[in-house]
Structures are given as C-alpha cells and as structure tokens.
Structure 1
Amino acid sequence: ALKLFTTLFGLFGAAASFFLMQESDFMFITIIFALFVGLFGPNLVLSKLVSDRRDKIKAAVPDGLDLLVVCTESGLGFNAALRRIADELVVSHPDFAFELDTVCAKIQAGVEMPVAFKELVDRTGVEELTGLVSMLAHASKVGGSIAQTLRDYTEDYRDKRNQEAEEVAAKIPTKMLFPMVLFIWPCFF
C-alpha cells in the first residue's frame, strides 16, 4: 500500500511539475526525480531498514550464544534456555529476542529444531547462524552434549568476529591514503 501511495505521489508530482514548470529548464529533471522517488524510494528505504535490522541481529548473536551456553550448562533444556534468553534479551536486543521467541513458538508447535532455526536464518538473513543450525542438528542426531557444542561454536564465532574486525582495521590505512593525498599533501606546498 505504501509503494502504491508513493508511486501515485510520484506520478502526481511529475504531472504537477509538467504543468507548472513548462517554461523552466529543470522540468525534465524534476519529472525524472519525482518518478524515481515515487517508484524506487520505498525499495531503498526498505532495503536500508532490512540492512539495519540484520546488523542489529548480527550484533546480538554473541550475547545470545553466551547466555545460551550459560543456561544449558546450568541444567536448563535447550527449549527452556531459548525461552529464557528471549525473555532476557528483550531489553538489550529486542529484534533478536523476537526472532528467538518465534523459534521457541515454532518448536512448541511441533516444528523440528533444525527446521525452525533454518527458517530463522531465512527470515533474518544472518548467515552466521547456519553453522549453529548444522552443529545443533548434528549434536541432536548423534546425542552429543549440546552445551559443549555450543561452547565450541561460541569460541569459533568469537574468533571469526575478531578476524573480521582485524580485516576491517587492516583496510583503514589504504582508505585513508586518498583523503590524505587530496587534503593534507597540498597543504605542504
């Protein structure tokens, strides 16, 4: 409905600029801008909102994994631990808490745990959880300790995040080279 409204608004803006700016040199640019905003504006806003939500959920995963390790090692079952984590993360990470709550509801409704987590990955787009899904599925099939599996995955995930941060930090000097050449080097002369 919002996209239809903005498309109609863009068409109205283009028509208004056509009739009101007949003598102006900027009429054609104004028409194209109004149509662009009307047709593609909602897509750009939606993709930005999706990207922000994905980043928030991705930032919440380490906290959730640490809490999951603590809860499973303290004796809670996996489903009860997920429910507890969803309740605890509502304040600090509401998006991730909502997604975990959805997973808990699906598991209680009879959906298998790996399927519920696969749907979580599909919904959120956070591909880092794919490894967790496969490890939990394997641990439940083999009958291994879920707490130890979670601890190992949490350590691997933490190492992976550190490597990504180091990679970003290693790219910074190269990115700073061009502004320094453009703005600082001419000042020496």
Structure 2
Amino acid sequence: MLTAVNDFIVARMGETGPLLVIGGLGLMLILVTLPFLLKKEPEPFDKLKQQTRPQARSAAADSREGALRRASDRNDKLNKFAHFLEPQDKEQMSAARLKMMRAGYRGKNSVRMFHAMQFLLGFGLLLVGMVYTFFVSRTQALDMQDIALSVLMPAAAGYYLPTYWVQRRLQTRQIAITEGFPDALDMMLVCVEAGQSLDQSIARVAKEIGGAYPELAEEFEIVSQEVRAGKERVAVMRDMAERVGLPDITSFVTTMIQSATFGTSIAEALRVYSNEMRDKRVMRAEEKANTLPTKLTLGTMLFTVPPLMVILIGPSIHGVMKAFGG
C-alpha cells in the first residue's frame, strides 16, 4: 500500500512529491503540538487575586483596569512562550538584554520579540521556500541539492535577518554616539564652568543636543532622570557606560567617578578629558585619511588600468593580427 501511495504522489507532484509531503506533515505536526508544548499554567497567585477581587467598582476604575488588562494580555501572550523565546541561562539572558539595550531597544519584552521575529521569519520563509519548490518541481525536475537550497536558504535568511538588523542598529548607534560625544563634552564643560552642577549640566546637554545627536541625548536623559529618582550617581554613570559599551564613555565615567571620589575639580577633569577627546577626534580623522589611498588602489586598478592597457596595446595587437592575417 505504501508503494501505491508513493506512486500516486510521484504521479501527481513529481519525484520531489514524497519529500514535500513529509515536510508538510512535519510542519503541520509542529503547528499542532507547539501550543500544547508551550502552554503555561496560570499562577496560583493570579487565581487568588481573581477570586478575591471586589465586585463593586466605579466606571473610572473599570476603565483603568481595562487598559491595564489589555496591556497585561499583550504581555501574557509573550509570557506563554517565555521559556521558548528567551534564553534560560541567566548569563545568556543578560548578554542578550544588554545587546538589545545597546541597539536602542529598551522594552521589557525586547529579547522575546527578537526571538519571536527570528522564529516567525524563519518559519514563514521556510513555508515560502516549500511552496516555491512545489510549483517549480511540477515544471522541471529538481535534485536534492536544489530542493535543500530552495527550502533551507530562505529559512536561514529569515532566521538571521533579525540578528543582522540588531547588530547593524547597534553599530550605527555607537558610531552616532562617538561622533557626538566630543561636542557634548565641550558643552558640558561650558555649563560646569558657568556654575552649574554636574547633574544640571548633564540635563542641559541632553536638552540641547537632542536635535543633532538624539542617541547620546537619550543616554544623558536617562542619567538625569535616574539621578532625580534618587539613585546614586556612581551607579548611574556605571550603568550608562555598560549600556553604551564604548571606550570613550567608559573613560569619561571613570574620570568623573575618580574626580568625585578624590575631591578634585570636575571642571578641570572635564577640561583635560575634553582636550584628549579633541586629540582623539583628530587622530580618527587622520587615520581615515591615511587609509583612503589603500582603499582607492583596488578601484583604480580595476577601472583605470584595463582601459589604459586597451588604449596602449590595442592598436599594436590589431596591427599584428592584421599583418598575420594578410
């Protein structure tokens, strides 16, 4: 009977039919069993809160509760798949959350959303590849290598696309912060020398550079708000250095902490560090200028030398060929 079924599938779908049918059945089983595997049992404390919740409520309270419940429901949809959408190891989870924060995604569910996008894009493009392979196999014969490439390549591209996006976003954000930090440091020095405290200077710099350098302004704004909330300045500055992950910011934070610890002048420390940042900016510009000839060499060889050789040697070759041909 299995032979008859196999012959029927091959007659209907071609030689790749059995493989496509097995893959489709496997995906269907995954879709059916996945909700049961990822189902999360309700917490006993949540059941107790629902049982002890008072019945009489005002309209305003019901409205607020409805908004909170809708937000909670959206989070619960991700919480059901929490053990699947986020690393279970604490170190891996901390590293993933730090990477998302450095890329600018500070939401509570950013890691879960990242892994959810990986799964959805990978699975969706896998289905697209299977459908494409099915229709192509009906018009022409495909070997196993072509089938594997047509199905697995889109799935791999969809799975790694969020990783590439986050990494690219992280690099772009760090470059923007690096470019804006010297100007922000000069403005902070002016504010401190004008008599403002370091906290006031950070808040003022965050307000002034928001249009030109929004990424750096966001970091300074977080520092200002955390200090106003009562968190220790040393811890706030260290958190900023960890969030950004740049050597310049880490050196700045270390300088400010040492200045506050040993009682030295903050204005003097900022002035010295600002001069160092100017020197670093000049060195970066000189480094880019020095690497420019090397980068231009390949383009020059590819697009200049071949036409020049044709112009110089072409007539001679044509004359030789004409002489031997005559």
Q: 1:48 aligns with which of 153, 168, 183?
A: 168
Do residues 98 (structure 1) and 218 (structure 2) align? yes
Q: Measure how far apart 1:113 and its partner are.
A: 2.3
The one-letter code of the counterpart of 1:36 is A
> RMSD across aligned C-alpha pairs, in angstroms?
1.7
User: Aligned pair count?
Assistant: 189
142-151 or 5-14: which moved more? 5-14
2:153 counterpart of 1:33? yes
How far did 1:24 drift? 5.6
Identity of counterpart residues, as a percentage? 26
* C-alpha spacing 1:156/1:94, structure 2 compared with 1 (3 Å): same
Q: 8 Å contact 1:14–1:34 — kept in the other structure?
A: yes
Q: Does 2:141 correspond to 1:21?
A: no
8 Å contact kept, 2:121–2:155? no
Q: Distance in 2 between matches of 1:74 and 1:42?
A: 46
Instruction: Go from structure 1 to structure 2 and tell me whether the alpha carbon gap of 1:24 and 1:66 turns closer, same or farther (over 3 Å shift).
Output: farther
Residues 1:64 and 2:184 are matched in the alignment: yes
Bigger shift: residues 144-153 or 12-21: 12-21
Q: TM-score, normalised by structure 1?
A: 0.91
CA distance in 2, matches of 1:139, 1:173: 42
The Cα of 1:170 is off from its aligned counterpart by 0.8
Q: Deviations over 1:110-141 (max 9, x none)?
A: 33323222211221222211111111111111
Q: CA deviation at 1:27?
A: 4.1
Deviations along 1:30-71, whole A, 9 cap, x unmatched? 323211222101111111111111111111111210110010
TM-score by length of 2: 0.55
- After the TM superposition, which segments of 4 or more aligned residues of structure 1 sit over 6 Å from their partners? none
Amino acid at match of 1:184: T
Unaligned runs of 5+ in 1: none
Where in structure 2 are there 5+ consecutive unaligned residues? 1-115, 310-326
Change beyond 3 A, Cα 1:20–1:167: same
Partner of 1:180: 300
Q: What are the equivalent positions in structure 2 for 1:77-96 lying under 5 Å apart?
A: 77-96=197-216
CA contact (8 A) 1:66 1:154 kept: yes
On the 8 A contact 1:7/1:35 being kept in 2, the answer is yes
